[in-house]
Chains A and B, each alone.
Chain A
Amino acid sequence: MSELKIVFTGTVGSGKTEAVYTLSDIPIIKTDVTPTDAVQNLKESTTIAMDYGELTIENGVVALYGTPGQRRFSYMWDILAKNAMAIVILVDNSRNNPIEDLCGYIANFEKHIENSTAVFGITHLDLSNDSEKEMEKYYNFFEKQNYNFPILKVDVRKRSDVYVLVESALAMLEVA
């Protein structure tokens, strides 16, 4: 049975914490530490267990979880994704092989996606010369794989973009 829970996952620096922060009504609970590995070249702090926020609605709250991005903390992924109503997967397009990253997340969250739904947000497209061409490669990949998941170009610093991600996830749940 699904809980009122949305999980944001994805690669290191893809904007998971930012997305949870954008939606949360409460100050988000973070488990950030200063990285000591290669991640220190990317950002000053990294999530090691989870981010937690809450969106208060009529008669309850929607729990918002952000997973750690680093694979070595992946044991948390299953714990956090259990019974989630939707998994939002953020993919940093500026990484070396974002399609491979995306496949990795689909494989890791497969059983959770089957029980809920998934939405893909492609981030950091502002760093590319032609974001539309970049998006085409994802559209083509999804078409080839026959994936029906929503895939969107997003900037998680924009509230409206995070809104569209959740909106798409809810629409998918309605037609499940």
Chain B
Amino acid sequence: MRNPMGQNQYNLSNTEDRSGQSNCAIKICVRLLDNVQRKRLEQNIHMHNKGKNDTWDLVAAAEAEVIIFSIDEPGGEIFLKSCLKQTKITPVLFSTENRTDCPWFIDKSTDSVECMDVLSNVHKALVKSKPNESSATNLSPSAFENLTAFITDNEYVHLSYKNFLSIYFDKIDNKIYVENPATKKISYSKLARAIHTVKPEFLTLTALSKVEFKGITKNILDYLLLKKFLWEFTIMCPEQKLLNSITGTRFKLKSWPPFSSFSHSYSHVLTAAFLKKYIANVATVTTSIDVSEQSVINVINAAHITNGLIDETCENFGKQYTVNLQPKTSKSMVKNILGKILTKVSS
């Protein structure tokens, strides 16, 4: 297949745009050892969601953007300090008093209505603080799929944006050349974000012959690696579904993803570890290791795009192993260690 439309040139405005379906669900976790209080807060979160189109998405701590915690429980103070050092997590203190001046505070004795008021304010502030987050997904899932299909189905591709940014993809040599008058060098994440955030109608993809491609790129010295870029580009794409080109329903990974080369979350690493060991479908992965469906889909899609996925239609798929997890470490200890190292890395 030359490209999704069977043409040499393709404009992404042809793609059905589903980006309008985005909501502002923010990932939240209640990190409390006290089960009664935790369940009460989780109930409040569910109540807050009712009729508000999923304002909150209850997830595990590793994926959360907002974490409700108690300073009185073991590790509470260390947790708060590490949160305040990084911007990714918004801590909400749940205690009898706010002696640490945490920006968000829920009084332990508060009733459900007051608790939901605080949650509402946190949500509003977070949505305001990232006004471009939803518009950062200009590329709808189908546009994303068509773009990646075009890049991987053709050997040499030119992507242009309004005659301003020119990107040349070389599938054979696993390289990307960027002709960008604004900056000389561009990182993987910047390039991925740039493509994700531009308006799809201004993106044009053209399949080039080898001669054309080599002629144009011979004077561009700097290049990025295509596979690394595709991992970064796919992992950061929200609201993905399994790509249409994926035929099977159960998968395993051929090789370990190059996690040291692109931004990722621990859920992605955990998903990779699971799919390296077991043959599984999306639902089995999410239920077995408590990660979001989106994380699993991101990893499967990225592995598929970079030829790192084996599905049941492949000859060397192998036999089914029964999933029988006997973790050699507890989740809390893992998060404990990762949280500590993350603080060191970011300091």
Contact = CB atoms under 8 A, between A and B. Distances in A.
A59 B328 contact: no
B56 to A, nearest CB: 25
Given A166-B337, A174-B270, A148 B78 contact: no
B327 A59 contact: no
Given A142-B255, A163-B341, A176-B327, A57 B336 contact: yes
Contacts of B276: 148, 150
Interface residues of B, number: 41
User: Most B CB atoms within 10 A — which of A22, A132, A149, A167?
Assistant: A167
Contacts, number: 118
B287 interface: no
A160 interface: yes
B273 A171 contact: yes
Interface stretch (B43-51, B111-119, B138-146, B259-267): B259-267
A85 B328 contact: yes
A11 interface: no
Interface in B126-161: none
Interface residues of A, number: 42
Contacts of B328: 2, 85, 116-117, 173, 176
A143 B255 contact: yes
A172 B272 CA distance: 9
Interface stretch (A29-37, A99-107, A151-159): A151-159
A167 B259 contact: yes
Given A143-B254, A171-B273, A160 B337 contact: no
Contact of B269 (A25, A167, A176): A167
A137 B288 CA distance: 32
A132 B255 CA distance: 14
Interface string B295-331: 0000000000000000000000000000001111101
A139 B344 CA distance: 30
Interface string B251-289: 000111011110000100110111011100000000011
B45 to A, nearest CB: 25
A171 B260 CA distance: 15
B276 to A, nearest CB: 5
A26 interface: no
A159 B344 contact: yes
Interface string B67-79: 0000000110010
Contact of A170 (B277, B326, B329): B329
A160 B345 contact: yes
Contacts of A150: 256, 259, 272-273, 276
A28 interface: no
A170 B275 CA distance: 15
B216 interface: no
Contacts of A59: 74-75, 336
B342 to A, nearest CB: 7
Given A2-B328, A117-B328, A160-B345, A168 B273 contact: yes
User: Most A CB atoms within 10 A — which of B259, B288, B326?
Assistant: B259
A175 B273 contact: yes
Interface of B: 74-75, 78, 174, 225, 227, 254-256, 258-261, 266, 269-270, 272-274, 276-278, 288-289, 325-329, 331, 333-334, 336-342, 344-345
Interface of A: 2, 4, 22-23, 25, 55-59, 62, 85, 116-117, 132, 135, 139, 142-143, 148-154, 159-164, 166-168, 170-176
19 contacts: A2-B329, A23-B344, A55-B340, A55-B341, A58-B78, A59-B336, A143-B254, A150-B273, A152-B258, A153-B261, A160-B260, A166-B338, A167-B259, A167-B338, A171-B269, A171-B334, A174-B270, A174-B331, A175-B289
Given A150-B272, A163-B345, A171-B269, 12 more contacts: A23-B341, A59-B336, A150-B256, A152-B256, A153-B260, A164-B259, A167-B338, A174-B325, A174-B329, A174-B331, A175-B278, A175-B288
